Structure 1
């Protein structure tokens, strides 16, 4: 398979998910990938997985939660420094420390080379229209990077309310029309809300992470093939879902060549300015 895909949502396989993210164990089990939970992959081994699947670039995200760091921005930078053409850093911050968070975001972008900010609202039990996010949105605009977040229900056993596209992302996009927003995990069971918000706002995009392509909702596929073909980008949520399995199922979607190129590569390259 020819290299070319950009995976918009992934994490390092550091072998510590069970210890640091116990809520996520259930998600791996329900995905049939519990055997991957304890796997630790070096940058070289991760690139080998990408090559096998036909993934050109992996957007690796740092994670922070109220209890502490899961993957630090410097840990992500170890990957991007080792293979700058293959890994793209996605920063995160400690949302509970707003001033330090803005400083850390600036450091992660200007010193470590990160290309986006991601905050997962269910980790903090705070929706993205909460006041603690707003200084970070201003900084994202100043740094010209997208803000990435999670939409839809939570696979882990945590409250899902923070993942509603309406009203939360709708309000953020109204307040910050210059902020590029990438909403990961499709938005199910509010898929129609997510499509509606992406259609309404020029600055909102969807990534398909955490869902195998054969389970993409029919309305999302219709959106991708028609008026939303510039709005949806491929994501895996690696290591939850294996890259080769995701890419093999993308090939089964019967997308027109131009739509497939935008979905697998073009939209992410444009939005993240890669």
Structure 2
């Protein structure tokens, strides 16, 4: 069966390129990369996982180009990262009906990051905040005390927090992203919506158990082609978890 063309898609993790070279996005955790291949040869730090990494090429207007690609694949709206730059401001100004925004956050910045979240939320109407625990530098675990101010801020603003869970793609330590860490967070913040990103592998069965346990825990399919979705997630989506699995490209 072919892909339906009459159902609009909401993509809950989409990136707008800002340059032909997109390596800037991992500069913050580049010091964590120890192997020479990751540091000097890859155009993106999880490149070893893919047969090829498509390149955008030179584009005059990356925001309009992104919308053209969304139209091509019937994506009505996308959640993208807010970066406090010209690209984000242009996306908001030109296409307010096509983009919603989430804010990537660094728990190492403490109260200053909480203030930034609240300021940007008042300016942009953020729909979520996000953290890449293994990509923080120094690394901060999902259930570490540095994360709790961010959880509190999101709960107060009544917006979800999206958290990378499972073994990270880049060759950096995984300890901070163990799925078991979410149990304490969901218990302590029962009104906070928590969304797992990037697979939760190899603990996808545990991820399902925790979603059954905690009504505030969700799963996003980000970073996986549909044919590679974990079987435990597909089975859960087709049974009790249809309202817990969120599409992301």
Contact residue 199 and residue 221 of structure 2 kept, 8 A:
yes
Q: 1:10 to 1:148 in 2, by over 3 A?
A: same
- 8 A contact 2:140–2:147 mirrored in 1: no
Question: Hey, what does 1:58 align to over in structure 2?
Answer: 78
Query: Which has the larger helix fraction?
Result: 1
Residues 136-193 of structure 1: per-residue CA shift (max 9 Å, x gap) = 2111111110011111111111111222110x11110011001001111121111111
Asked if 2 retains the 8 angstrom alpha-carbon contact of 1:77 and 1:89, the reply is no
- Among candidates 122, 125, 136, match of residue 134 of structure 2: 122
Residue 8 of structure 2 is matched in structure 1 by: 4
Is the Cα contact below 8 Å between 2:161 and 2:195 reproduced in 1? yes
Taking a change above 3 Å as real, the CA distance of residues 202 and 155 of structure 1, as seen in their structure-2 partners, is same
How has the CA–CA distance of structure 1 residues 220 and 97 changed in structure 2, closer, same or farther, with 3 Å as cutoff? same
Q: Which deviates further from its counterpart, 89-98 or 215-224? A: 89-98
Unmatched segments (≥5 aa) in structure 2:
31-37
**2:33 aligned residue:** none
**TM-score with structure 2 length normalisation?**
0.84
Q: In the aligned structure 1, how far is the partner of 2:227 from the partner of 2:106?
A: 35
SS at match of 1:46: helix
SS, match of residue 148 in structure 2? helix
**2-side partners of 1:149 and 1:38: how far apart?**
30
Is 1:17 aligned to residue 22 of structure 2? Answer: yes
**Deviation for aligned residue 1:20:** 4.0
Alignment of 1:3-152 (within 5 A): 4-15=8-19, 16-21=21-26, 25-36=44-55, 42-62=62-82, 71-72=83-84, 75-124=87-136, 125-152=139-166
The structure, 1 or 2, with the larger RCO (C-alpha pairs under 8 Å, 6+ apart) is 1
The aligned residue for residue 185 of structure 1 is 198
Q: How many residues align?
A: 227
Residues 223 and 39 of structure 1: is their aligned pair in 2 closer, same or farther, counting only changes over 3 Å?
Answer: farther
Structure 1 regions of 5+ residues with no counterpart? 63-70, 237-274
Counterpart selection for 2:216 from 203, 209, 212: 203
Q: What is the alpha-carbon distance in structure 2 between the residues aligned to residue 157 and residue 119 of structure 1?
A: 17
Preserved contact between residue 106 and residue 131 of structure 2 (Cα < 8 Å) = no
Alignment deviations for residues 9-63 of structure 1 (CA, whole Å, 9 cap, x no partner): 122212343244265724245323423276666211101101111111111024x
Larger Rg computed on CA atoms: 2
When residues 210 and 153 of structure 1 are mapped into structure 2, their CA distance, relative to the original with a 3 A threshold, is: same
**More off after superposition, 172-181 vs 127-136:** 127-136
Contact map agreement 1:14 1:39 (CA 8 A) in 2: no
In 1: Cα distance, 2:18 partner to 2:47 partner: 15
SS of aligned partner of 2:248: coil
Q: How much does 1:229 deviate? A: 0.8
1:77–1:19 CA distance, 2 compared to 1 (3 A):
closer
Aligned residue in 1 for 2:169: 155
Q: TM-score, normalised by structure 1?
A: 0.77
Once the two structures are superposed, the pairs formed by residues 247-262 of structure 1 within 5 Å of their partners are none
Distance 2:207 2:85 in 1: 29
Deviations 1:91-119 (A, max 9, x none): 12332221110111011211122111001
